[in-house]
């Protein structure tokens, strides 16, 4: 774990967001950063999922590798936005459900403006996304929609795959472990991090805590969709079932 891998300025958002997002993606393979304008790397998509879907007010900035990724809210929707409203805000149309057959219901959304800057502060990418929350009891599914990502390098290997017609759904999962700033990684820690099982980050806390991150992503009609959960009982198949309901809208 790099000592400076976690630096962030937070709005008033839930502590679970801090634990799950900040530095959580540092262990995922960094892909070639040839992204400009609408071409952003897969890792940036994951950052967009975590930031845009969960962030409800204010602004966010965090170090991911050697780059800064930031986001700020543009507009909020208490009621479900129409496909036309979504296209006007983020440049791509999306049909979102009011609720899913498993009981998760729409609980609000925001459009978010993102910027990615390199270590020298130069902007390498900018894009818009829509982040929506669907709740059932105490559990939340975070749905993110943005313009389709065109990869220029090999994708990370998914831990789950499913097909819905000609659309491929890919799933990823890891543990985000928050550790004290002076934490010394063991050899087992290093092996787990290298294998992509655990991501280590520090937010100044003196306690160690784990958050299970699971998400799926797919592309349809010019849009990239991602659904993310934190310590959720939902399985990959559950999330894929929700994704198929979106595809059928």
Structure token pair of residue 89: 């805000």
Reference 106, options 115, 114, 97; nearest CA is 97
How open is the CA angle 238-158-219, to the nearest 5 degrees? 70
Count CB atoms within 10 A of the CB of residue 187: 7
The pLDDT assigned to 124 comes to 72
Contacts of 148 (CB under 8 A, 6+ apart): 92, 219, 222, 223, 224
Q: Tell me what pLDDT residue 193 has.
A: 80
Q: How far apart are CA 161 and CA 170, in angstroms?
A: 5
Contact 230, 20 (CB under 8 A): yes
Residue ranges covered by each domain of the chain? 8-247
| Per-residue buried b or exposed e for 1-25, using 16+ beta carbons within 10 Å of the residue's own CB | beeebbebebeeeeeebbbbbbbbb
What's the confidence (pLDDT) of residue 82?
96
Low-confidence ranges of the chain (pLDDT < 50): 1-40, 48, 51-66, 152-155
> d(Cα 228, Cα 95) in Å, to the nearest integer?
18
Ranges of H-type helices in the chain? 15-21, 42-54, 83-90, 187-194, 236-247
Rounded to whole angstroms, the Cα distance separating 228 from 118 reads: 26
- The closest alpha carbon to 22, from 230, 156, 200, belongs to 200
3-state helix, strand, coil in the chain (%, to 5): 20, 40, 40
Burial of 111 (0-12, 13-18, 19+ CB in 10 A): buried
Give residue 5's pLDDT.
34
DSSP state of 232: -
Placement of tokens 């290298």 in the chain: 194
């Amino acid at each position: 774990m790099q000592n400076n891998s976690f630096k962030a300025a937070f709005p008033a958002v839930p502590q679970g967001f801090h634990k799950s997002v900040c530095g959580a993606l540092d262990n995922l393979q960094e892909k070639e950063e040839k992204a400009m304008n609408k071409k952003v790397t897969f890792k940036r998509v994951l950052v967009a999922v975590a930031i845009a879907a969960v962030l409800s007010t204010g602004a966010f900035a965090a170090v991911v590798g050697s780059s800064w990724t930031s986001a700020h809210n543009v507009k909020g929707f208490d009621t479900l936005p129409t496909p036309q409203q979504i296209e006007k805000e983020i440049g791509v149309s999306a049909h979102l459900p009011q609720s899913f057959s498993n009981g998760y219901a729409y609980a609000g959304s925001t459009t978010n403006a993102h910027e990615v800057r390199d270590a020298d502060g130069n902007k390498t990418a900018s894009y818009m996304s829509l982040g929506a929350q669907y709740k059932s009891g105490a559990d939340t599914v975070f749905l993110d929609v943005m313009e389709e990502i065109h990869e220029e390098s090999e994708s990370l290997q998914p831990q789950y795959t499913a097909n819905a017609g000609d659309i491929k759904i890919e799933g990823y999962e890891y543990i985000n472990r928050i550790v004290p700033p002076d934490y010394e990684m063991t050899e087992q820690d290093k092996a787990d991090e290298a294998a992509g099982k655990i991501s280590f980050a520090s937010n100044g806390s003196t306690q160690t805590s784990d958050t299970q991150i699971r998400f799926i992503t797919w592309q349809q009609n010019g849009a990239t969709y991602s659904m993310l959960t934190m310590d959720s009982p939902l399985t990959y198949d559950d999330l894929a079932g929700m994704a198929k309901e979106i595809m059928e809208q």
